[in-house]
Amino acid sequence: MNKWLCSICIGFWLVASLSYAQTPPQATISWQRNTEPDIAGYRVYQSIASNNYGTGPMYLLQSTTNSVTVNLPQTRCSVRYYWTVTAFDFGGQESVKSVEVSKTIVGTQYWIGACKKQ
């Protein structure tokens, strides 16, 4: 009887650990909405290198939106992510990029075995 109970306890611990391990880290980026009447939406750019956003945005959002929550892939320890936001109008013209913001994802608090806690 005691052996059976111990197996169940180990099974519950493994399930709990696996579900915790699959939860990716997140970041919420928010901004003050543009009040111009012809704003069609926002473009959110994401990168792991400061001021190096490549050719296209990571997210396209409606003009009524002023935040986005993103899941962050962690493939290495201590990864710093950078974001910037632009507004665009119905003609396709895009504003200058906002001030850059960043967040560092650190350690095994997100994925078991990904790296040692810093």
- CB distance 74 to 104 below 8 Å: no
pLDDT digits (tens, 9 = 90+) for 18-74: 344 456 778 899 998 888 899 999 999 999 899 998 877 888 888 888 999 888 776
The CATH topology of domain 24-105 is: Immunoglobulin-like (2.60.40)
Residue 45 to residue 84: CA distance in whole angstroms: 5
The answer on pLDDT for 7 being more than 60 is no
Predicted confidence at residue 75, as pLDDT, reads 59
* Total-model pTM: 0.69
Averaged pLDDT of the chain: 74
Predicted confidence at residue 89, as pLDDT, reads 93
- CB distance 63 to 90 below 8 Å: no
Predicted confidence at residue 35, as pLDDT, reads 87
**What residue spans define the domains of the chain?**
24-105
